[in-house]
Amino acid sequence: MDYPTTTLSDNYDRLSHNPMWNQAMRNAIKERLEREKGDPCLMAERAGILPDNWQSDLLRSDAKQMILNCSRQSGKSTITAVLGLHTALFQDNALILLLSPSLRQSVELFKKLKDFYTAVASPFLPTATEESTLRLQFSNGSRVVALPGSESTVRGYSAVSLLILDEASRIDDALYFSVKPMLATSNGKLILLSSPYGRRGVFYDIWENGADDWLRIKIVASQCPRISSAFLESERRTLPAFWFDQEYMGIFCETMDSVFSFADIAAAIDPNVKPLIFL
């Protein structure tokens, strides 16, 4: 039987009084979910995301360490949220940690993951047993936790299945060094995703000098089908060149003519301060 076009939970709710039809429908749903288990792209599609080629590569990759140097708005948070949810639903007792320079940013990523869960939820999948603004626990023992970006408050987790570091170029090196051992015993996955932020820090260092066991993915804005060339041209005209290069072109810049070094400016920025204006 073909996979029906409505959601899996809808189909379940609409079971008829015909036991044979019901059984056939249950089998079709289970078969579909088994395929989703083997291919996260299928789950992404059911969540409303038709992955770009590089996003499919990421979802299907066996690499234990991935670093994504991707343009703003290319879809890197979206696709790692999909992978986080897939890991939680299809791997029992998985622990997925979401980390960013600030709690506010981690919560944004967490919200994406929760929205995808709402979209794909089914009685045939693990259900959410505990839910808060920072935490989602499932009936299969898996947990997703959004964490603040400070080294002193993230310690204490171990056997992590998937560690996602969003806006990784802005994460303190000390934070990276303190979370990395959480993967020591679990054979878990580590994903660093960001656009560049100067020739500094762990993100830059791994991108430039990391060993071959890092899967590197670079996507510039013109490769993203959702960013129009008109918008890009307008950004190119209005932004300082080095800023455009790092936001959209994946280039790690050092502004040679600036009064302060990039590292000094970066160190002076506090990601926990809420912006006054949201664009």
Note the residues at the interface with ligand ATP (CB under 6 A). Answer: 49-52, 55, 70, 72-78, 195, 226
Q: Which is nearer to ligand ATP, 11 or 194 (CB)?
A: 194
Are 254 and 197 spatial neighbours (Cβ–Cβ below 8 Å)?
A: no
Task: Name the residue nearer to ligand ATP (CB basis): 29 or 252.
Answer: 252
| 5 contacts: CB under 8 Å, gap ≥ 6 | none
Contacting positions for Mg ion (CB under 5 A): 77
Q: How far apart, in Å, are the Cα atoms of 134 and each of 11, 207, 230, 277?
A: 31, 30, 38, 24
CB of 204 to ligand ATP, least distance (A): 16
* Nearer residue to Mg ion within complex by CB, 245 or 247: 247
Provide the CB-side half-sphere exposure for 242 (13 A, CA): 11
Name which of ligand ATP, Mg ion, none residue 73 binds, using a CB cut-off of 5 to 8 Å depending on partner kind: ligand ATP
Give me the least distance between CB of 50 and ligand ATP, in Å please: 5
- Cβ at position 79, least distance to ligand ATP in Å: 6
**Residue 55 binding partner per list Mg ion, ligand ATP, none, with a CB distance cut-off of 5 to 8 Å that depends on partner kind:** ligand ATP
25/59 with CB nearer ligand ATP: 59
The residue sitting closest to ligand ATP, measured at its beta carbon, is: 75
Rounded to the nearest whole angstrom, what is the least distance from the CB of residue 152 to ligand ATP in the complex?
25
Q: Residue 80, Cα to own-chain centre: how many angstroms?
A: 2
Residue 11 interaction partner, one of ligand ATP, Mg ion, none, beta carbon < 5-8 Å per kind = none
E strand spans, 139-245: 143-147, 162-166, 189-194, 214-219
Asked whether 115 and 182 are in contact (CB, 8 A), the reply is no
* Spatial strand order in the sheet of 65-70: 128-131, 135-138, 143-147, 95-99, 162-166, 189-194, 65-70, 214-219
49 binds, among Mg ion, ligand ATP, none (CB under 5 to 8 A by kind): ligand ATP
Question: Which residue's CB is nearer to ligand ATP, number 75 or number 149?
Answer: 75
**Count, residues in the chain:** 279
In the complex, minimum distance from the CB of residue 70 to ligand ATP, in angstroms, rounded to a whole number: 6
Shortest distance, CB of residue 181 to Mg ion, whole angstroms? 25
CA distance 138 to 134: 14
